């Protein structure tokens, strides 16, 4: 077995930014409402051999975490006002993979797949009599499959933008054990799309990701065809006190179990409010099966789309640091998913993934003697 047994899915370098001493951290259990102080950072957001026993993925993440920290340090020296293209791409890729490498992301995928398989089992005459609540369907290595999905979708982040939300207010940002929180301010406030069951797809119009990397800094990734964040002349935005509370609420909603915070930047009342908001909101990890109306194929067969959906964070937020620039009412739009922000990019990525799958199935002899890197551009 390799020496690196303890694999972190939230980097220790990020957790240390919420620490008073670089070794310990304060966390707040959202179910029990109990704070724990001076918890060892090395034991937080980690599992034994989470990415496998050969340490390859853990080493790769360690390398990218180092580069990410270097980017943040370099940009901080410029007061977060400049962002080179290479730096932007590095941040986009890091946040993209952070979303899907956590335990909460793996458990969410497992729940959706289990719900879908149980729905299928209910239509099978051999299993229709089984009570879905009487059995569980478990999966292995979902985190690895999530990372494969992240690799397949890497090019879809190429058109997103990055801004730094600098917070010098009394209440600081908190960080959940899920890391990245998603939102869609556009869909939430659109007269048509606010009724859509899901808005978090990576190709969706209005996509927003928020990743707090310290009590005073949150990275915002967003769809530039839908929003304008602050001034076009700077990569920095200053959120209001209400914005900080809203972003912390999103962290609480996305958390699996707990949030991390710096005690001098988060009061007991701040933490209780986050727990209260979380308790009132439907869990974004619950799963509901959504079915389309039946439709007829040309050969007379009847089809139906069956999709496992989880609640999105519905808070009706209007951030002060961003404004919606897409005023299209999308009259007559009736698809089950939100409009794509960049259909041409999506089509290109789809074709590229099909080409890679075909090349992989062809084998090494027909593929130049080597398998292609799924992350290559």
Burial class of 179 by CB neighbour count within 10 A (0 to 12, 13 to 18, 19+): buried
pLDDT > 60? residue 250 = yes
Eight-class DSSP state of 261? E
pLDDT bracket for residue 3 (50, 70, 90): low
The tokens describing 145, both together, are 């499959």
Distance from C-alpha of 212 to C-alpha of 26, rounded to nearest angstrom: 15
* pLDDT single digits (tens) 201-243: 999 999 999 999 999 999 999 999 999 999 999 999 999 999 9
Query: Can you tell me the mean pLDDT for 260-274?
Result: 98
Closest CA to 211 of 183, 233, 188, 231: 183
Q: Which two tokens stand for residue 55?
A: 């340490």
Question: What mean pLDDT do residues 106-110 have?
Answer: 97
How many CB atoms are closer than 10 A to CB 51?
A: 22
Average pLDDT over residues 264-274: 98
SS3 181: strand
For residue 136, the model assigns a pLDDT of 95
Q: Residue 370 — very low, low, confident or very high, per pLDDT cuts 50/70/90? A: very low
Residue the block writes with tokens 């067969």 = 301
Cβ neighbours around 165 below 10 Å, total: 25
Mean pLDDT (the chain, rounded):
93
| pTM score | 0.93
The C-alpha atoms of residue 215 and residue 14 are separated, in whole angstroms, by 11
Start-end of H helices in the chain: 12-15, 56-76, 85-100, 103-122, 142-152, 185-188, 241-254, 268-280, 343-362
pLDDT value, residue 377: 34
Segments making up each domain of the chain, as ranges: 6-285+313-341, 343-377
């Amino acid at each position: 077995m390799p020496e690196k047994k303890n694999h972190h899915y939230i980097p220790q370098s990020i957790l240390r930014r919420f620490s008073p001493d670089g070794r310990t951290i304060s966390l707040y259990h959202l179910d029990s409402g109990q704070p724990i102080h001076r918890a060892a950072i090395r034991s937080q957001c980690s599992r034994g051999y989470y990415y496998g026993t050969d340490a390859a993925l853990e080493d790769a993440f360690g390398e990218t975490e180092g580069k990410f920290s270097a980017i943040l340090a370099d940009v901080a020296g410029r007061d977060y006002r400049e962002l080179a293209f290479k730096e932007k791409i590095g941040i986009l890729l890091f946040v993209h993979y952070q979303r899907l490498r956590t335990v909460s992301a793996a458990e969410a995928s497992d729940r959706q797949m289990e719900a879908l398989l149980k729905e299928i089992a209910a239509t099978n005459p051999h299993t229709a009599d089984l009570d879905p609540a009487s059995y569980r369907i478990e999966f292995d290595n979902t985190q690895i499959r999530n990372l494969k999905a992240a690799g397949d979708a890497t090019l879809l982040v190429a058109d997103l933008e990055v801004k730094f939300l600098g917070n010098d207010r009394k209440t600081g940002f908190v960080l959940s054990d899920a890391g990245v929180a998603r939102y869609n301010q556009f869909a939430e406030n659109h007269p048509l799309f606010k009724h859509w069951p899901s808005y978090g797809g990576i190709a969706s119009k209005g996509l927003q990701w928020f990743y707090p990397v310290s009590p005073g800094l949150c990275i915002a990734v967003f769809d530039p065809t839908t929003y304008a964040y602050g001034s076009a002349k700077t990569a920095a935005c200053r959120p209001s006190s209400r914005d900080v509370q809203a972003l912390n609420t999103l962290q609480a909603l996305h958390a699996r179990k707990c949030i991390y915070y710096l005690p001098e930047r988060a009061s007991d009342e701040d933490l209780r409010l986050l727990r209260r908001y979380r308790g009132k909101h439907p869990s974004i990890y619950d799963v509901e099966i959504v079915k389309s109306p039946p439709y007829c194929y040309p050969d007379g067969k009847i089809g139906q789309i069956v999709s496992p959906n989880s609640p999105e964070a519905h808070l009706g937020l209007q951030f002060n640091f961003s404004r919606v620039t897409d005023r299209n009412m999308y009259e007559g739009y009736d698809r089950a998913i939100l409009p794509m922000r960049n259909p041409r990019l999506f089509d290109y990525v789809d074709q590229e993934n099909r080409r890679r799958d075909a090349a992989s199935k062809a084998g090494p002899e027909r593929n130049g003697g080597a398998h292609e890197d799924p992350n290559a551009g």
